[in-house]
Amino acid sequence: MTLDQRELRNGFGRFATGVTVVTCRNDDGDPHGATVNAFTAVSLEPALCQVTLTRRSKACGYLPGKPFAVNVLAAGQLDAAWHFAGKPQEPAPGWAVGPTAPVLEGNAATISCRPWRTYDGGDHLIVLGEVVALDVTDAEPLLFYAGGFRELGPLTAGRHWAASLDCPDLGWFPAAWAA
């Protein structure tokens, strides 16, 4: 059975994601970035995260085996998302020196990684990084949903998840399973 690519993209697009810019250095040593919404946490021990890049992107050629950073964009960084998605904005986003690779200024969070593994992902490359430094701010994240950028809105449900083991107010569940 062959799926229509537009229908598949629409289906995948029903999952809201954060927006990241993966940054590294190009072959000349200059900072380079690519907007990526295919990002996920993988493991707490060791601390691993994953980014998935289309093989058509320049970053896909620069990233394997190299340190990189995942810049989780803040709601106010829409211009940075467009800039690194191939629609240059003026002024260009600001760069800063990061622990492993160049990073963007003003992020909701910055996750600095050293290379861990790279896998074939069809028309994409799956890159795992070992997290070596983390910078988290209070900024709200920029989101992507149904083909468009979004911002968080207030939660309208009256229920709180305090009964869950995952409740952040009570402390997340332990990283190791209790015997």
Question: According to the 3-state scheme, what is the secondary structure of 116-164?
Answer: EEEEEECCEEEEEEEEEEEEECCCCEEEEECCEEEECCCCCCCCCCCCC
Token pair in block for residue 6 = 């537009």
Q: Name, in order, each residue with C-beta under 8 angstroms of 6's C-beta and a sequence gap of 6 or more.
A: none
Confidence of residue 154 (pLDDT cuts 50, 70, 90): confident
Q: What is the pLDDT of residues 72-88, one digit of tens each?
A: 999 999 999 999 999 99
Q: What is the pLDDT of residues 29-65, one digit of tens each?
A: 999 999 998 999 999 999 999 999 999 988 888 988 9
At which residue do the structure tokens 């800063």 appear? 96
Q: What is the pLDDT of residues 103-151, one digit of tens each?
A: 999 999 999 999 999 999 999 999 999 999 999 999 999 999 888 888 8
Mean pLDDT across 65-72: 96
Please tell me whether residue 63 adopts helix, strand or coil conformation. Answer: coil
Instruction: Give me the residue spans of the domains in the chain.
Output: 20-151
Please tell me whether residue 81 adopts helix, strand or coil conformation. Answer: helix
Mean pLDDT across 88-103: 96
Q: Name, in order, each residue with C-beta under 8 angstroms of 80's C-beta and a sequence gap of 6 or more.
A: 21, 71, 73, 89, 93, 104, 106
pLDDT at 6: 85
Confidence of residue 172 (pLDDT cuts 50, 70, 90): low
Q: Name, in order, each residue with C-beta under 8 angstroms of 160's C-beta and a sequence gap of 6 or more.
A: 167, 169
What percent of the chain has pLDDT above 90? 63
Please tell me whether residue 53 adopts helix, strand or coil conformation. Answer: strand
Confidence of residue 5 (pLDDT cuts 50, 70, 90): confident
Contact 33, 89 (CB under 8 A): no
Which CATH entry fits the domain spanning 20-151: 2.30.110.10, 3.30.70.260, 1.10.569.10, 3.60.20.10? 2.30.110.10
Q: How far apart are CA 70 and CA 37, in angstroms?
A: 10
Contacts 24+ apart (CB under 8 A), 171-175: 175/44, 175/45
The answer to whether residue 159 scores a pLDDT higher than 90 is: no
Single pTM value for the model: 0.83
pLDDT at 26: 95
pLDDT at 59: 87
Token pair in block for residue 15 = 């999952």
Q: How far apart are CA 90 and CA 148, in angstroms?
A: 21
Please tell me whether residue 71 adopts helix, strand or coil conformation. Answer: strand
